Amino acid sequence: MGLSSIVHYGVDATLIAMLLAAVRHNTGKVFAYETYDFSSILHGYMNWGEYCYNWLLGYVKNSKRFRREIEADGFSNDVVLDYKRDDPPRSERSRISILPRN
C-alpha cells in the first residue's frame, strides 16, 4: 500500500463524512455512532466531516465561480417539493424533501 492509496482512502473517507454532515444539515438526522464500540473515533470522524463541509460551504459562498441557480439551468425541473409534517422541524429547510414528479 503506497502513499497514493493512503491519500485516496483519506479523500474517500472525508467525502463520506461530508455527505453525512450534509444529511445532518438538510434533514436534522444524525448517524447513530454511539451504538458502536468505537464511538469516540466515529464522533471525531463526524466532526471532521462537519469541519470540511462548513469549509466547503464558506468557499462556495465567497467564490465567484459559483452563482445562484436559475430556472434556465434545468437542474430541478424533474422534482417537486413536498413538505413533511410528521417530524418536528429542525428548521424550515429541514421539512422539505424532494420527490420525483409523476
Contacts of 91 (CB under 8 A, 6+ apart): 28
pTM above 0.75, yes or no: no
Q: Which residue has the higher pLDDT, 11 or 84?
A: 11
pLDDT digits (tens, 9 = 90+) for 68-95: 877 777 776 555 555 455 555 555 444 4
| SS3 (DSSP) at 86 | coil
Strand 96-100 relative to strand 79-83: parallel, antiparallel, unpaired? antiparallel
Q: DSSP H helical segments within the chain, as ranges?
A: 3-27, 39-62
Confidence of residue 102 (pLDDT cuts 50, 70, 90): very low
Q: What is the DSSP letter of 95?
A: G
User: What pLDDT, on the 0 to 100 scale, is given for residue 81?
Assistant: 52
CA pair distance 98, 67, nearest whole angstrom = 21
